[in-house]
Amino acid sequence: MAQFRKGAEAVQAAAQRKGGGKYAPILRWEGGEKKYIQFLDSMDEIITVLMHQWIIVGQREDGRENYERFISRRDPMLDGADGYDELIERFGVTPTERSIALVVEVEPAYSSGSGRKKIEGFDLAERQYENKDGETITVPNFGLIIESPKTFFNTLAEYNESAPIDEVIYEVKRLGESTDTAYVFIPTDFETLDVEEELDDFEFDFEAWLDELADEDRMREIVGAIPTGAKVSRYGGKGKGKDDEEEKDKKKSTRRSGTASTRRSRAKVEEEPEDAEDAKDDDANANEDEDAKSSARSRRFKGLRETATKKK
């Protein structure tokens, strides 16, 4: 597995900066929604990557758009500023820094009786999906949180200074819908659940998923087939067509020679609207549902740990 940036230091460093591969179960919040979450890895094991999300790579038979994610090879732990990234070079789409954590959703168990409900403990929350045979499968709601270091994980890093995040069950509520999004964390006093047995049955290989998203050949194959000038990002990012380049050249010719830039073009990391990765819209759900019906996944989650040296 490629060696990505990990831990609170990486999260906080990314938070200070301004500016999909195979199916993966991803937890999202709608505006005003509340979930109870148990983190399954320590703060030091949370990785931070330079990611492209909601990239339009084609259309489905019903006319809806197909989306993919990519980890940019310009991530500082991969190839850096000189790395290949056709989405930047040919389409002008800038990646954003995202931190990723494995969690399980839990749900409160309330006391019986009249009066105000009181939480007595927590149980595993569940989700359902259909397998390739059309059978409905019920599993614990393990999933990935892919969020901005600035609006989500930086706050979590502050809580980690008081108590390790993987030893606390949090109530997490989303405020806002788009660029005004914020998350409120409320630690509970209950012990975390022992989910080791259930996690062993969780058929998702996190390391292989990361490697696939960061695979240069995958980007060359998928993005290379997209015509120049096509819209590739759901939130903007139309390709640099011939007319755009000609107009750009005209503007350059009118500049004074002393102001012409000779610096190498670098990827600028900008903060995209939070609903780009949070909002549950029909297109995104359709893609994930389709993947969930694919052939049975035999790979298992291996944990957030380093297993290889820096990938070149």
Per-residue pLDDT, 283: 43
Q: Is the pLDDT of residue 123 over 90?
A: yes
Q: Is the pLDDT of residue 89 over 60?
A: yes
pLDDT grade for 178, boundaries at 50, 70 and 90: confident
Per-residue pLDDT, 28: 92
Mean pLDDT lowest among 185-194, 215-224, 273-282, 291-300: 291-300
**Positive or negative: CA dihedral 184, 189, 190, 194:** positive
Q: What is the mean pLDDT of residues 18-47?
A: 84
Is there a contact between 96 and 51 (Cβ–Cβ < 8 Å)?
yes
Q: Which residue has the tokens 């640099």?
A: 240
Q: What is the mean pLDDT of residues 115-131?
A: 90
Q: Is the pLDDT of residue 14 over 50?
A: no
Per-residue pLDDT, 234: 79
pLDDT grade for 201, boundaries at 50, 70 and 90: confident
Q: Is the pTM of this model over 0.95?
A: no
Q: Which residue has the tokens 């040296």?
A: 309
CA distance linking residue 153 with residue 145, whole number of Å: 10
pLDDT grade for 235, boundaries at 50, 70 and 90: confident
pLDDT grade for 112, boundaries at 50, 70 and 90: confident
Q: What is the mean pLDDT of residues 69-89?
A: 96
CA distance linking residue 143 with residue 24, whole number of Å: 7
Q: What is the DSSP string of 154-208?
A: HHHHHHHTTS-GGG-EEEEEEE-SSTT-EEEEEE-SSPPP--HHHHHT----HHH
Mean pLDDT lowest among 6-20, 21-35, 126-140, 206-220: 6-20
Per-residue pLDDT, 94: 95
Per-residue pLDDT, 1: 55
Q: What is the mean pLDDT of residues 238-247?
A: 48
pLDDT in tens, 261-300: 332 233 333 334 434 444 344 444 334 444 443 332 333 3
Angle at 76 between CA 75 and CA 81, to 5 degrees: 80
Give domain limits for the chain.
5-246+268-292
Q: What is the mean pLDDT of residues 82-102?
A: 95
Of residues 155, 141, 115, the one with CA closest to residue 27 = 141
Q: Judge residue 119's burial from the number of C-beta atoms within 10 Å of its C-beta, 0-12 exposed, 13-18 middle, 19 or more buried.
A: middle
Q: Is the pLDDT of residue 125 over 60?
A: yes
* Pairing outcome for strands 142-147 and 96-110: antiparallel
Is there a contact between 32 and 164 (Cβ–Cβ < 8 Å)?
no
pLDDT grade for 70, boundaries at 50, 70 and 90: very high
Q: What is the mean pLDDT of residues 218-225?
A: 95
